[in-house]
Structure 1
Amino acid sequence: MSQQVIAGRYELLEELSHGGMGDVWRGYDAVLDRPVAVKLIRQQSVTSPQLAEEFAKRFRREARITARIQHPGVPQVYDAVLDDTYERLFLVMELVEGVQLSGYVDPARPLPVSWAAAVAAQVATVLSHAHEVPAIHRDLKPGNILVARDGTVKVLDFGIAAILRNDATKLTATGSPIGTSQYMAPEQVRGGRITPQTDLYALGCVLHELLSGRVLFQADSEFLLMYQHVSAAPTPLRQLRSEVPTGLEELVLHLLRKAPEARPADIQEVYERLRPFLPRVGQAPAPGEAGPAGAPDPTGLFRNPYAPRARAQSGRGAAGAPAPGLPAAEPLAVPAVMRAEIKEAYAHSDALLEEERFAQAAEVLGEVIEPAARLLGVESRPVLELRTQRAAIQLLGGDYRAALPEFAALADAYGRINGPSSAQARACRAQAARCRAELGQVTEALATLQAVLGVVRSVDSDASEEALELRRDIGMLLLAQGRAAEARAVLEPLHADLVLVYGPQDEMTAEIAEALALIRLDLDGTGGS
């Protein structure tokens, strides 16, 4: 399965999760050179050839509905693929890295109230956009909620339950209701009409579990569990955890009422009632107000809304390079097995580069960098060379945000090992500057390139290959900033040197000649010289 290609473009690389409704794979889109998530829907969803055509129509309809939910809390749907047999169905979606909400549930240590409220509020926001479409989730549960690394809550699997529904029966071919019995609303158990209030009940189950550390109902069989959802009264939260605020307990009980019409009127009301329990803007976490170690913090979006991205760690690269001043691991001879793995990674990456599959080529090198760094040291020559090649691929593929901090860290590492004026340190500083230029940080990029050029001139010729490229970059950046006279002062002598070194027909020579023609036209047209 890992070698399978879907629709001629989506490669299945590794299985990420295995669930009741389908398996999720890390995939790769060979056309757009990006990682994706591919959900393989269970084969038993089509129970007979007679249902195949109806199923195909439902599959595409629900995929289109899901794609209309425009909210950062819903992973984008890129494609829906139904194979010729109608037996295998694939949803191709945005790949989200994060932690499943089920990993936050701990009976011994329930979540802080602010964390639970922040998760529920973000889910409520997602549901408000979905219910407007209208789209009802039908299977909301911790396993379908993921907290991304920046604290954004993502609601997964919209439309999957609807896709698997069989109008001829309330049960699937396996005899189980569509949904998950721990979070199933009474009307779902009975096979009644599904409404947005069905999702509200499930959200009540999830919030109860986050705050108490245990599921709402427990039973020895699925039948008894579903019976409890229909008939049993939920235990009030404050009987399980006394510090839960009264207003939050009341909201959860309201969400868990048996009759849909007795629940809150809509998800917007739920959000308003959650608001008092959310952290205020600028409010720092209180002592002890921390969730599971290493888990993304869902309260950050409320404490610092619309905050910029966190600063890159300037002293640490993607492979875990140490901060300046920390000793590097003692270099070791490369064992034969590791040497073979590195050689194979380079060969595989180069083959992918030939096909312009930049993201995947960089990922292949990344898979060997970490074990090599552990074995050889993070500043050993083989590891630094691997990291440099990966960063170069990221730059070539346009992933400037990933390449920039790595090139900056590599420049520091090479500077410590070989000296700040070494060829490797200069090259990485220049590449970092080029990334900054692509990201709009032109002033800083220019300053760095000019500083590197000064070093090159002190150790090599002004007409060396390295110096010529730096002069080209500096002149073109000046031109891009509208500083035509300064650009001309850099590019005219550069053009003369290029004619001598490479000849007038060279690609870089022609590029600079064209830029100079535009500069002269602009300056002459405005009265310049």
Structure 2
Amino acid sequence: MVREAKELRGVDADSYAEMYRPGTGDLIDGRYELTESLGKGGMAQVWRAREVFPGHEAPEIHEVSAGREVAVKFLRHDSEALYALGPEERAAELAVRNARFRREATLLGALDHPGITELYGSGSHRGVPYIAMRLVTGVSLRTFLDEHTPLPSATAIAVAVQMAGALACAHTLPVVHRDLKPPNIMIDDEGAVVLIDFGIAKPLRADATRYTAHGSTLGTRGYLAPEQLLEREPTARTDVYCFGCVFYELLTGRPPFPLGADSGLTERHLYEEPLPPSVYAAGIPEAIDDLVIRMLAKQPGQRPPVDEVLAVLAPLGPRPGDPEPRPRTHPDPTTPLRRPADRAPRTHRAPTAPRLTSPVAGEEEWLDARAVELLCTRAETEIAVGEPGDAAGRLHELAQRVRREWGTRRPLVRRVWRGAADGLRLAGDFGSAARLYQGIDGTLLHGDGPAERAERAVVRLRVAECRLAFGELDAAVFAVDAAGRTAAGLPRELAVQVESVRREVDAQLSARLADAGGPGRAGV
């Protein structure tokens, strides 16, 4: 019988060799019956399984139905790389792998997008950690490219549009995937593109734990950004570079710098400018040539954010009602864009909301201003103690509606947006918070009096704080300096308000600059 492994540290060679290995028919935590091995790599192996008992502890994010097929991913404790290590090194490496595996489960639970595999459950079976997630049946993009290159441009763009949407969801948290490559992108049987393997993904919060030591470069050769090759701190723009490499291959059938026998691949990624995709494939629009070259910029700050990538690509991709591209492919990644109604919607929990409307017989209900004011007060109380809760979340749900119904000049609209943005920022949803702050600055703040100048400075500082989470340091430097100049020209009470936020953001910026300036920093 397989011995249960209760501790990873200090495991001797014999017990290490006897650690649990999954097998057909095994029942994992009384819930998942393994049916077929789907493959394994150096870090993990994945099994197809049948859910035989939903269990009372089923995750709240899904309706659980008995009998569905799922994918169960196990952390490998028996890889050749681990066997090669001494006892102490092996124990340390296992601890890092376990921590990273747990973080992958946490990230999947937080990411809610059809283009990202959703989490069903996680735990440990006989000492081996596992993650249960949606089973994506289809082919990897690597297999798809090998079978169908060259692709019709509509197909290439359809894959890229769906990738951008999923990546934008991850970056909103913000989380950087760090290993975007064709084998880690699936196209399911209905043509939907799904990002998989968040095993080395990293939250971009300043307090996120690092699990990789200096000298360890994560990612895959041929799809690494220059800063990864130089072992520098990753940002959301790191993913954009890797995405650019994949998109280049979608368009041309080859990566921007092919592996081949060229031993100078690293130097090419670091120093050589790629040729436009249109050099290798006819009919590529100039807008896409320009976009891809910007995505492959050597400096992260010169690359577009993924939201901009999506904004450029979406109008160029297939539209509802368009015919199938020629030649046909199976699966067809254009189908979700050409026939969006054919794909069954995912179900989510419906948020509960207060009664914020006043009914009038025969008319549509309208927002009750007094109820919204009370909700703002509750949210501001939550935010003041640093614990945004239900009230702040409901402000986020209301933000677009209050602007639509009350316009852009009513102070209560700005108050709703500010509370929603502050709540999202404190909750760590920096991408969504930044968009709300930018909306306040761009459309809700009017006039140029002292109060407006002070609020505008604070809002811009908060935008900079959110962008710091994405590693965008230059914008934060500019915002902090500009806020200091603004505060110098304000009445004392308003200047104190601006200075308080400015010092807060400046402290975070200083920590980030010190971190980025250290040699060889490549956290996980």
User: Normalising by the residue count of structure 2, what TM-score does the alignment of the two structures yield?
Assistant: 0.52
Match in the other structure for 1:28: 50
Read off the aligned partner of 2:212 and give its amino acid letter.
D
Match in the other structure for 1:184: 224
Alignment counterpart, residue 302 of structure 1, candidates 302, 319, 337: 337
Match in the other structure for 2:119: 77
Residue pair 2:278, 2:284 contacting (<8 A) in 1 also: yes
Q: CA 1:20–1:184 in structure 2 vs 1: closer, same or farther (change >3 Å)?
A: farther
Read off the aligned partner of 2:213 and give its amino acid letter.
A
In structure 1, how many angstroms separate the alpha carbons of the residues matched to 2:119 and 2:25?
A: 22
Read off the aligned partner of 1:273 and give its amino acid letter.
V
**Worse overlay, 188-197 or 242-251:** 242-251
Alignment partner of 1:183: what SS? coil
- Give me the CA root mean square deviation: 2.8
Residue pair 1:73, 1:155 contacting (<8 A) in 2 also: yes
Larger Rg: 1
1:147 lines up with 2:193 in the alignment: no
Residue pair 1:66, 1:159 contacting (<8 A) in 2 also: no
**Worse overlay, 75-84 or 41-50:** 41-50
1:6 lines up with 2:28 in the alignment: yes
Residue pair 1:77, 1:94 contacting (<8 A) in 2 also: yes
Q: CA 1:2–1:165 in structure 2 vs 1: closer, same or farther (change >3 Å)?
A: farther
CA deviation after TM superposition for structure 1 residue 187, in Å: 0.8
Alignment partner of 2:264: what SS? helix
Residue pair 2:237, 2:303 contacting (<8 A) in 1 also: yes
CA deviation after TM superposition for structure 1 residue 122, in Å: 0.6
Residue pair 1:136, 1:159 contacting (<8 A) in 2 also: no
Q: CA 1:291–1:178 in structure 2 vs 1: closer, same or farther (change >3 Å)?
A: farther
Alignment partner of 1:99: what SS? strand
Residue pair 2:295, 2:303 contacting (<8 A) in 1 also: yes
Residue pair 1:188, 1:194 contacting (<8 A) in 2 also: yes
CA deviation after TM superposition for structure 1 residue 130, in Å: 0.9
Q: CA 1:70–1:233 in structure 2 vs 1: closer, same or farther (change >3 Å)?
A: same
Match in the other structure for 2:74: 40
Read off the aligned partner of 2:332 and give its amino acid letter.
D
Read off the aligned partner of 1:10 and give its amino acid letter.
Y
1:290 lines up with 2:324 in the alignment: no
Match in the other structure for 1:68: 110
1:228 lines up with 2:250 in the alignment: no
In structure 1, how many angstroms separate the alpha carbons of the residues matched to 2:158 and 2:152?
A: 10
Unaligned residue ranges in structure 2 (runs of 5+): 1-22, 55-66, 83-88, 204-208, 345-524
In structure 2, how many angstroms separate the alpha carbons of the residues matched to 1:207 and 1:299?
A: 15
Q: CA 1:21–1:258 in structure 2 vs 1: closer, same or farther (change >3 Å)?
A: farther
In structure 1, how many angstroms separate the alpha carbons of the residues matched to 2:126 and 2:333?
A: 42
Alignment partner of 2:256: what SS? coil
In structure 2, how many angstroms separate the alpha carbons of the residues matched to 1:159 and 1:225?
A: 25
Match in the other structure for 1:254: 294
1:102 lines up with 2:142 in the alignment: yes
In structure 1, how many angstroms separate the alpha carbons of the residues matched to 2:136 and 2:146?
A: 23
CA deviation after TM superposition for structure 1 residue 188, in Å: 0.9
Match in the other structure for 1:49: 91
Alignment of 1:408-447 (within 5 A): none
Read off the aligned partner of 2:309 and give its amino acid letter.
V
Alignment partner of 2:112: what SS? coil
Q: CA 1:103–1:59 in structure 2 vs 1: closer, same or farther (change >3 Å)?
A: closer
Superposed CA offset, 1:224-264 (max 9, x none):
33332222222221111122222111111111111111100
1:273 lines up with 2:312 in the alignment: yes
CA deviation after TM superposition for structure 1 residue 192, in Å: 0.6
Superposed CA offset, 1:404-433 (max 9, x none):
xxxxxxxxxxxxxxxxxxxxxxxxxxxxxx
CA deviation after TM superposition for structure 1 residue 121, in Å: 0.6
Match in the other structure for 2:283: 243
Which structure carries more helix by proportion? 1
Q: Relative contact order (C-alpha < 8 Å, sep 6+): which is higher?
A: 2
In structure 2, how many angstroms separate the alpha carbons of the residues matched to 1:35 and 1:108?
A: 28
CA deviation after TM superposition for structure 1 residue 133, in Å: 1.6
CA deviation after TM superposition for structure 1 residue 41, in Å: 2.9
Unaligned residue ranges in structure 1 (runs of 5+): 172-176, 310-529
Alignment partner of 1:75: what SS? coil
Read off the aligned partner of 1:132 and give its amino acid letter.
T
Alignment counterpart, residue 212 of structure 1, candidates 252, 258, 264: 252
Q: CA 1:52–1:280 in structure 2 vs 1: closer, same or farther (change >3 Å)?
A: closer
Residue pair 2:74, 2:131 contacting (<8 A) in 1 also: yes
Read off the aligned partner of 2:38 and give its amino acid letter.
L
User: Normalising by the residue count of structure 1, what TM-score does the alignment of the two structures yield?
Assistant: 0.52
Residue pair 1:74, 1:156 contacting (<8 A) in 2 also: yes
Read off the aligned partner of 1:4 and give its amino acid letter.
D
CA deviation after TM superposition for structure 1 residue 125, in Å: 0.6
Alignment counterpart, residue 198 of structure 2, candidates 158, 163, 167: 158
Alignment partner of 1:105: what SS? helix
